[in-house]
Amino acid sequence: MNSIKTLFLSLFILSITTFVKAQSPEVVLVLEKVQSHYNTGDFDNIAPLFSDTFLNKVPASSLTGLFTNFKKDLGILQSFTFQKKEGIVEEYTSQFENGAMLTSIAIDEDKKIMGLRFKPDETDVVPNFTRNSTPFILPFKGAWFTYWGGDNKAQNYHVTVKAQQGAFDFMIQGKNNRSYQRSGTRNEDYYAFGKPLYAVCDAEVVEVITGVHDNPPGRMNPAEPFGNMITLKTVADEYIVYAHFEQGTIRVKKGDLVKQGEFLGNCGNSGNSSEPHLHFHLQDRASHYQAVGATSYFSKVMVKDTIFNEYSPVKFDLIKRQ
């Protein structure tokens, strides 16, 4: 199973195979063009700044989606400051309206971008909290399987991404420990697909993305990594992210106040997801690029045959509400 961590560590990454020495003035000129088009929302004119090799791997339509989401989260690009150069790659600190990002860029001999990476500047990031203070219930009914969960890389590959270091991927297993029946070639073959998901606590809906198609199993949509998604905010300023809803099933909108246990939408396979599952995580601030992830503890959870009052699931746990 794949989830969404890569695009929140960096906007996108491309291997660089052409070794042409890039000069700083040329790179600065390219960055200024990116900055201008980005700030005005003229995303269609950003794609021509990239090499054909890059665009063969990341098409123009995907770039538009990525930069749109980036601007929504970080706001205007105010400035960029040169830091260092290693081979053909130059590194800058890009100051956005809502935070700083470390930017690595390389251009080819035609002054086209052949590699570009944005990574959160985590130098002075201090988490606002490390776990939820608001009581949570599990976001689903029935028994679900914890595919990723825990505080180390062996249990949870999300830990390498600051904003998602406490994330979970939940799915449903059936016979023979498989997540699907029949051939597994349709979303409807998967036990989790279409299952209802619920609010873990009383909260305000602060972000909703809808209209993203569900992927055929085995394919992913990196341009819209969360897919159809919801972010809830508690009175304690805890931000709760649900990702990969089934298209057309979300029943809340931004500004709604939801109660614990209220229906939100159905589990799907939208976004950067290879099969139907729920990606769930808690973060300490609104920005997905600047946030620090926290551990979610749930009330009255049955793990196999044992009931826990406060429990954070780990990899391979079969869990359900009590």
The domains located in the chain, with CATH, are 6-120 (3.10.450.590), 144-321 (2.70.70.10)
Extract the residue ranges of the chain whose pLDDT is less than 70: 1-23, 124
State the pLDDT at residue 1: 65
**pLDDT digit string, tens, across residues 235-256:** 999 999 999 999 999 999 999 9
Query: Containing H/E element for 31?
Result: helix 24-40
pLDDT at 223: 78
pLDDT of 23 reads 52
pLDDT at 124: 66
- Please tell me the distance from the alpha carbon of residue 46 to that of residue 31, in angstroms, as a whole number: 10
Q: In what order do the strands lie in the sheet with 113-120?
A: 77-86, 89-96, 99-107, 113-120
Q: Residue 227 in contact with residue 221, Cβ under 8 Å?
A: yes
CA distance 237 to 25: 43
Q: How many angstroms separate the CA atoms of 46 and 169, rounded?
A: 34
Q: Which residues contact 6 (CB under 8 A, 6 or more apart)?
A: 13, 222, 225, 272
Phi-psi region of 144 (alpha: psi -120 to 50; beta: other; left: phi over 0): beta
The pLDDT, as a whole number, for residue 63 is: 85
